[in-house]
C-alpha cells in the first residue's frame, strides 16, 4: 500500500510526534543494521546489500527503543537531525517488519509505504502511518527512511524465473517512472526474459506500440545486478530497481524469491491422465492403486514388449501407469500418445528397428490368433465368475485366493485388451453376429434405457439391475468405498444386442470391469467381518492398506494397530493433460509447442494447474472458486488462500498479488484479454499458471 503526503502546516508539531520519542536511530551503513531482528527484514537486506558494495541509497531505520542496539541515539531531536542530514527534498518512509522479505514470506504490499514526504510534520505523520499499519500483523515493526528517488525508469527483476522455475533466466519488468505502479498491479509494463549475461530471450509489452523503456546496455547492467545480489545473499533475489535522471542504477529493495515454481527434474518422463482417465476418473486410495493400477501397468508393459514398441529396459525401469497425488496417469511416450522428442535418433540407432522386426514376426501371427485367444480368455473368466459363490459365503482363505486370482487375471486381460486395440483396429468381421464399433458402454446405455422404459418400478433397484445385467457396470468406475451407481437415461438410444455381440476389445474391457467389481465386493466383505468383530471404520481402514498389508491382515484377522491413524488420500485437483514431475514430485505442466492449439492467451504468473468455477469476488464464494478480475487490486489479497486459480485482464507477473499467489500456490494467469466478459461467474474453467492458458 503506497501513500503520498505533504506538509500542510510547516513547523506544526503533529499529535503523533510522541511516537518518535520512543524510537531509536540505526544507520544502514552500521553493523547492527544487517540484523533483521533489530531493523526488520527490508532494512536488513538493504544494509547487507550496501555492505556488499551494491548501489543502495543512504538511509536509516527507526526501531523501538527496547529493540535498539547499545549506544543508538533516540528521541525526536536526533531523528530530526538524521532526517535533515539526508539532504533530500523528499523522503520515502517504508515498513520493515521482522518477517518482511524473509525466505518464507515476502509480505508483499501488506504494510503502508508513504512516498514524497516533505517536512518534519509530514515525516512524523508518515512514521505513525507505517507503525499503525502493522498493529494487527506484526509484533515488531521498524521504519525505513531513505531519500525519494526521481526515477526515469523503474521496475522489478527476478534473479531466476519464478514462473517456469528456470535458474538460468533473469526476468525484468519495467515502466517509465518509479516501480510503484508496477508492483501495485496498476501497470503491466514491458517484460523481458534475459539470459544470465543479459541477452534478450523474449520481450513482451502490454501494448504493441509501447516504447521499450530499457535498452540493451541497461538490460546488461540489470543482469549484472541480479548476479551481484545472488552472490551477496547466496540465492536469486527479487529486486526493485530504478534508473535516475543521470542514468545511475539504484537497488531499492531486495528479498528472496519466496515461491519458485517447480521445474521438471532432468530426464523426467512425460505423463498425462488421458489414456487412463476414463477408467480411473477420481482419486484412488492405496489399496485401489495396488488392486487396479499395478495389474494395468504390468499388462500394458507386456503388450508393449510383445509388439516391440518399447525396450524391455525401458519397461523395467518405467511403469507404464502410476499414480500422482492419487490420480492415475500414464507414460505418454511409452504408450505412443505423443511422438518421440528425438525422432531422428531412430535413423542412427539400429536397435529399435531390429526389435520391431523381431516383434513383427510375433505380431503377424498374433494378429490372426488374437480374436480366438481373447474368446478363450473371456470364456475362462466367465466360467470362473459364474462358479464363484457370493463373497459372504466364502471362507477367509477363499476370499484371499479370489483376490490372488483376480490380480493375476487382470494382467492378462489388460495385455490382451491393449493388443486388441493395437492389432485388430476394430476389425472383427461379422463372426458370431459381432458388430464392428460396438462398445460396452453403448450396450449398457441401450439396455438401461430399455429396462427403465419397460419396468420403471423395478429399474429403480440399482443392485438388482446390475445383478441381472452385469454389463451395466461399464457405466460406473470401480471403487471400494461406494457401490456402483447408474446415470439417468432418457429415451432409447439403440437396441441392446447382448454382451456376445461386442468385439474382442470391448468384451475384454467389460471383463476387466467385472473382475474389478469382484475385488471390491471381496474387500467390502472382509471389512464387514472386521466390523462385526468390533472394528470401527473397517472399510476406510482397509482402503488405506497396501496389497501386502491386506494379505497379512486377512491372515491376522484384521489390520495392524499402527495403521489405525492413517488418513485416506484427500481429494486433489485434476492433473494437467501433459506434465513432468519435479524433483519433489510436483507436476510441472508441459508447455505447448509453438503454434499449437493450446497457444497462450495470457501470461503465466503462478505455476500450477487448477480447475473450478469462475467467481467475480462478490457474493458467496463457490466451491473450487477461480477468481476472475480486471486488475490485481491489493484488496484481493485476503481472498487468495484456498482459490483454485486467479485470472486477471491486466497486471504484472511481478506485482504483489502475483507474488502472493505464488506463495499461496494459487495458479494464476494475467494479461488475459476480456477475461471478465469471456468467463462470467459460474463458468467451468481450467487455469495453467505456467503457460497462462485459460480454458472454459
pLDDT in tens, 610-623: 999 999 988 899 99
Confidence category of residue 277, pLDDT binned at 50, 70, 90: confident
Mean pLDDT calculated for residue range 254-263: 83
Q: Percent of the chain beyond pLDDT 70?
A: 84
Q: Are residues 332 and 213 both part of a single domain?
A: no
Which of 276-290, 417-431, 506-520, 580-594 is predicted with the least confidence, judged by mean pLDDT? Answer: 417-431
Rounded to the nearest 10 degrees, what angle do helices 120-133 and 76-85 cross at? 110
Q: In what order do the strands lie in the sheet with 190-195?
A: 200-205, 190-195, 169-176, 151-158, 237-244, 249-256
Contact predicate 16/125, CB 8 Å: yes
What is residue 623's predicted lDDT score, i.e. its pLDDT?
92
What is residue 651's predicted lDDT score, i.e. its pLDDT?
66
Distance CA 436, CA 452 (A): 26
Q: How far is CA 223 from CA 2, 186, 234, 619, in A?
A: 28, 25, 16, 45
Q: Are residues 396 and 276 both part of a single domain?
A: yes
Domain of residue 536: give its range.
269-438+497-573
389 DSSP assignment: P
pLDDT at 637 over 90: no
**Residues paired with 25 in a beta bridge:** 62
Q: Are residues 312 and 393 both part of a single domain?
A: yes
Q: In what order do the strands lie in the sheet with 23-27?
A: 2-4, 113-117, 91-97, 141-147, 60-64, 23-27
Mean pLDDT of the chain: 84
What is residue 347's predicted lDDT score, i.e. its pLDDT?
40
For residue 105, the SS3 value is coil
Confidence category of residue 385, pLDDT binned at 50, 70, 90: very high
Is residue 484 assigned to a domain? no
pLDDT at 316 over 70: yes
The half-sphere exposure of 130 on its side-chain side, counting CA atoms within 13 A, is 30
Distance CA 100, CA 94 (A): 11
Mean pLDDT calculated for residue range 544-549: 97
- Please enumerate, as own/partner, the contacts of 422-431 that have beta carbons within 8 Å and a separation of 24 or more: 422/303, 422/307, 423/307, 423/363, 423/366, 423/367, 423/370, 424/367, 424/370, 424/371, 424/503, 424/504, 424/505, 426/503, 426/505, 428/371, 428/503, 428/504, 431/371
- Angle subtended at Cα 404 by Cα 503 and Cα 322, rounded to the nearest 5 degrees: 70
Confidence category of residue 354, pLDDT binned at 50, 70, 90: very low
CATH number at 130 reads 3.30.1490
Question: What tens digit of pLDDT does each residue of 20-67 get?
Answer: 778 999 999 999 999 998 999 999 999 999 999 999 999 999 999 888
Confidence category of residue 381, pLDDT binned at 50, 70, 90: very high
Strand pairing of 190-195 and 200-205? antiparallel
Q: Are residues 638 and 501 both part of a single domain?
A: no
**Residues paired with 240 in a beta bridge:** 156, 253
CA torsion 377-381-382-383 (nearest 10°) is: 110
For residue 37, the SS3 value is helix
Give, for 525, the enclosing helix (H) or strand (E): helix 504-532
Mean pLDDT calculated for residue range 208-225: 91
Q: Select from 226, 256, 286 the last residue of a domain.
A: 256
Distance CA 455, CA 445 (A): 15
Residue 443 CB contacts under 8 Å (≥ 6 apart), including other chains: 471, 474, 496, 497, 498, 499, 501, 502
Residue 408 CB contacts under 8 Å (≥ 6 apart), including other chains: none
Q: Select from 256, 278, 302 the last residue of a domain.
A: 256
What is residue 369's predicted lDDT score, i.e. its pLDDT?
86
Give, for 468, the enclosing helix (H) or strand (E): helix 462-468
What is residue 622's predicted lDDT score, i.e. its pLDDT?
94
Which of 168-172, 194-198, 249-253, 350-354 is predicted with the least confidence, judged by mean pLDDT? Answer: 350-354
What is residue 635's predicted lDDT score, i.e. its pLDDT?
61
Is residue 375 assigned to a domain? yes
pLDDT at 437 over 90: no
Mean pLDDT calculated for residue range 356-360: 55
What is residue 431's predicted lDDT score, i.e. its pLDDT?
44
Which of 194-203, 306-315, 316-325 is predicted with the least confidence, judged by mean pLDDT? Answer: 306-315
> What are phi and psi for residue 50, nearest 5 degrees?
-65, -40
Q: Are residues 542 and 503 both part of a single domain?
A: yes
Q: Are residues 248 and 296 both part of a single domain?
A: no
CATH number at 218 reads 3.30.470.20
Q: Which range among 72-76, 446-450, 456-460 has the greatest average pLDDT? A: 72-76
Question: What tens digit of pLDDT does each residue of 564-578 get?
Answer: 999 999 999 888 878
Is residue 447 assigned to a domain? no
Is residue 140 assigned to a domain? yes
Q: Are residues 309 and 434 both part of a single domain?
A: yes
Is residue 491 assigned to a domain? no
331 DSSP assignment: E
Is residue 70 assigned to a domain? yes
What is residue 344's predicted lDDT score, i.e. its pLDDT?
43
What is residue 100's predicted lDDT score, i.e. its pLDDT?
75
Is residue 481 assigned to a domain? no
Q: Percent of the chain beyond pLDDT 90?
A: 52
Q: Which range among 93-102, 223-232, 637-646 has the greatest average pLDDT? A: 223-232
Q: In what order do the strands lie in the sheet with 668-670?
A: 603-606, 668-670, 645-648, 625-629, 609-615, 684-688, 693-695
Distance CA 361, CA 50 (A): 73
Which of 122-126, 332-336, 471-475, 601-605 is predicted with the least confidence, judged by mean pLDDT? Answer: 601-605
Mean pLDDT calculated for residue range 405-428: 85
pLDDT at 229 over 90: yes
pLDDT at 290 over 70: yes
From 587, 133, 598, 560, select the one nearest 329 (Cα to Cα): 587
What is residue 13's predicted lDDT score, i.e. its pLDDT?
36
Into how many domains does the chain fold?
4
pLDDT at 346 over 90: no
Is residue 75 assigned to a domain? yes
What is residue 146's predicted lDDT score, i.e. its pLDDT?
97
pLDDT at 456 over 90: no
**Who has greater pLDDT, 7 or 556?**
556
Cell of 650: 491486466
Q: Select from 256, 285, 305 the last residue of a domain.
A: 256
Q: Are residues 333 and 350 both part of a single domain?
A: yes
Distance CA 519, CA 301 (A): 22
Q: Return the sign of the alpha-carbon dihedral for residues 668, 665, 109, 218.
A: negative
Amino acid at each position: 500500500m503506497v501513500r503520498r503526503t505533504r506538509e500542510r502546516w510547516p513547523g506544526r508539531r503533529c499529535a503523533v510526534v510522541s511516537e518518535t520519542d520512543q524510537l531509536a536511530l540505526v544507520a544502514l551503513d552500521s553493523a547492527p543494521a544487517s540484523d533483521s531482528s533489530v531493523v526488520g527484514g527490508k532494512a536488513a537486506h538493504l544494509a547487507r546489500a550496501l555492505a556488499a558494495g551494491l548501489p543502495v541509497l543512504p538511509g536509516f531505520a527507526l526501531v523501538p527503543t527496547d529493540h535498539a542496539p547499545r549506544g543508538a541515539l533516540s528521541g525526536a531531536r536526533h531523528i530530526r537531525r538524521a532526517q535533515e542530514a539526508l539532504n533530500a527534498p523528499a523522503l520515502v518512509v517504508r515498513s520493515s517488519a521482522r518477517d518482511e522479505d524473509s525466505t518464507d514470506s515476502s509480505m508483499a504490499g501488506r504494510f503502508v509505504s508513504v512516498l514524497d514526504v516533505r517536512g518534519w510534520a509530514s515525516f512524523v505523520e508518515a512514521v505513525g502511518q507505517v507503525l499503525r499499519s502493522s498493529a494487527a500483523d506484526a509484533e515488531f515493526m521498524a521504519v525505513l527512511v531513505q531519500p525519494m528517488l526521481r526515477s526515469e525508469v523503474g521496475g522489478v527483476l527476478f534473479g531466476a524465473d519464478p514462473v517456469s522455475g528456470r535458474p538460468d533466466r533473469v526476468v525484468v519488468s519495467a515502466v517509465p517512472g518509479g516501480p510503484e505502479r508496477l508492483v501495485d498491479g496498476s501497470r503491466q509494463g514491458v517484460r523481458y526474459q534475459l539470459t544470465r549475461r543479459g541477452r534478450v530471450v523474449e520481450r513482451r509489452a502490454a501494448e504493441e506500440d509501447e516504447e521499450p523503456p530499457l535498452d540493451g546496455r541497461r538490460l546488461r547492467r540489470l543482469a549484472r545486478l541480479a548476479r551481484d545480489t545472488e552472490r551477496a545473499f547466496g540465492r536469486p533475489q527479487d529486486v526493485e530497481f530504478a534508473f535516475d535522471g543521470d542514468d545511475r542504477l539504484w537497488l531499492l529493495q531486495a528479498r528472496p524469491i519466496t515461491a519458485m515454481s517447480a521445474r521438471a527434474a532432468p530426464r523426467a518422463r512425460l505423463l498425462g491422465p488421458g489414456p487412463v482417465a476414463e477408467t480411473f476418473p477420481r482419486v484412488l486410495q492405496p489399496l485401489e492403486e495396488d488392486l487396479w493400477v499395478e495389474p494395468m501397468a504390468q499388462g500394458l508393459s507386456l503388450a508393449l514388449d510383445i509388439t516391440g514398441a518399447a525396450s524391455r529396459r525401458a519397461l523395467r525401469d518405467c511403469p507404464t501407469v502410476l499414480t500422482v497425488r492419487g490420480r492415475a496417469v500414464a507414460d505418454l511416450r511409452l504408450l505412443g500418445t505423443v511422438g518421440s522428442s528425438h525422432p531422428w535418433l531412430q535413423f542412427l540407432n539400429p536397435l529399435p528397428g531390429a526389435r520391431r522386426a523381431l516383434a513383427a514376426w510375433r505380431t503377424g501371427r498374433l494378429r490372426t490368433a488374437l480374436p480366438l485367444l481373447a474368446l478363450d480368455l473371456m470364456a475362462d473368466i466367465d466360467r470362473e465368475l459364474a462358479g464363484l459363490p457370493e463373497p459372504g459365503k466364502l471362507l477367509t482363505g477363499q476370499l484371499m485366493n479370489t483376490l490372488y486370482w483376480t490380480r493375476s487375471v487382470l494382467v492378462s486381460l489388460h495385455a490382451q485388451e491393449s493388443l486388441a486395440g493395437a492389432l485388430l483396429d476394430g476389425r472383427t468381421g461379422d463372426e458370431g453376429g459381432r458388430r464392428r464399433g460396438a462398445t460396452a458402454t453403448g450396450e449398457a446405455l441401450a439396455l438401461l434405457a430399455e429396462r427403465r422404459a419397460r419396468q420403471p418400478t423395478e429399474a429403480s433397484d440399482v443392485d438388482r439391475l446390475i445383478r441381472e445385467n452385469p454389463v451395466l457396470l461399464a457405466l460406473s468406475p470401480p471403487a471400494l468405498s461406494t457401490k456402483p451407481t447408474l446415470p439417468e437415461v432418457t429415451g432409447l438410444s439403440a437396441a441392446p444386442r447382448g454382451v456376445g455381440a461386442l468385439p474382442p476389445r470391448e468384451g475384454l474391457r467389460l471383463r476387466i470391469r467385472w473382475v474389478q467389481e469382484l475385488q471390491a465386493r471381496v474387500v467390502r466383505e472382509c471389512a464387514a467381518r472386521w466390523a462385526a468383530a468390533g472394528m470401527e471404520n473397517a472399510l476406510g481402514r482397509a482402503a488405506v492398506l497396501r496389497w501386502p498389508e491386506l494379505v497379512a491382515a486377512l491372515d491376522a484377522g484384521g489390520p495392524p494397530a499402527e495403521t489405525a491413524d492413517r488418513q485416506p488420500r484427500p481429494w486433489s485437483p485434476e492433473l494437467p493433460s501433459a506434465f513432468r514431475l519435479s524433483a519433489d514430485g510436483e507436476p510441472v505442466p508441459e508447455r505447448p509447442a509453438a503454434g499449437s492449439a493450446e497457444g497462450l492467451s495470457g501470461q503465466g504468473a503462478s505455476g500450477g494447474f487448477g480447475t473450478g468455477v469462475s467467481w467475480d469476488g462478490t457474493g458467496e464464494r463457490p466451491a473450487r472458486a477461480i477468481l476472475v478480475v480486471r486488475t490485481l487490486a491489493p484488496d484481493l489479497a485476503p481472498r487468495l488462500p484456498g482459490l483454485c486459480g486467479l485470472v486477471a485482464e491486466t497486471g504484472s507477473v511481478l506485482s504483489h498479488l502475483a507474488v502472493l499467489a505464488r506463495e499461496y500456490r494459487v495458479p494464476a494467469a494475467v494479461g488475459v484479454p476480456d477475461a471478465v466478459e469471456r468467463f462470467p461467474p459460474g463458468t467451468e474453467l481450467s487455469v495453467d499458471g505456467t503457460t497462462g492458458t485459460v480454458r472454459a
